[in-house]
Amino acid sequence: MAAEATFDAAAVQALLGRLAPSVDGSLLLRGLLAESAVAGAPSRLDADASPGGRELARVRRQIRAGEMAQSVHLAMGNTLTALQTEAQLLELEPLADEHRRASSRIVELARRMATVLRRLDPPSGPG
């Protein structure tokens, strides 16, 4: 039988503080420990939940929101890339001047939107 993993609570709190600066590491650790003591039952947000349980639930909501935002970001980026590519291909065709201007405008607007999306990207790498 394997020995149960041990950890230094202060080190875990410090790590949580570095990973998620807006999170109270000690509350989150208490919520995780309380949850594991109750056979992995998810933390509740009701008035009876402990402060640690509420913090854990709040962090989980933030993570879900971040994952949804990332999904929307990727979908928009992929759609804009496809739109821009189609419009650029259309510009290669023999078109009336009015249609060529419209196609060029679509390419320019898609480029602007792609620039806005890139500004929303989180910085890469540590800190």
Per-residue pLDDT of the chain (127 residues; tens, 9 = 90+): 555 667 777 787 777 777 777 777 777 777 777 776 665 455 455 556 678 878 888 888 888 898 898 888 889 888 998 988 988 888 888 989 998 899 889 889 988 998 888 888 776 655 4
**DSSP per-residue letters across the chain:** -PPPP---HHHHHHHHHHH-TTS-HHHHHHHHHHHHHTTTPPPP-STTS-HHHHHHHHHHHHHHHHHHHHHHHHHHHHHHHHHHHHHHHHHTS---HHHHHHHHHHHHHHHHHHHHHHHHSPPPS--
Q: Say what the pTM is.
A: 0.56
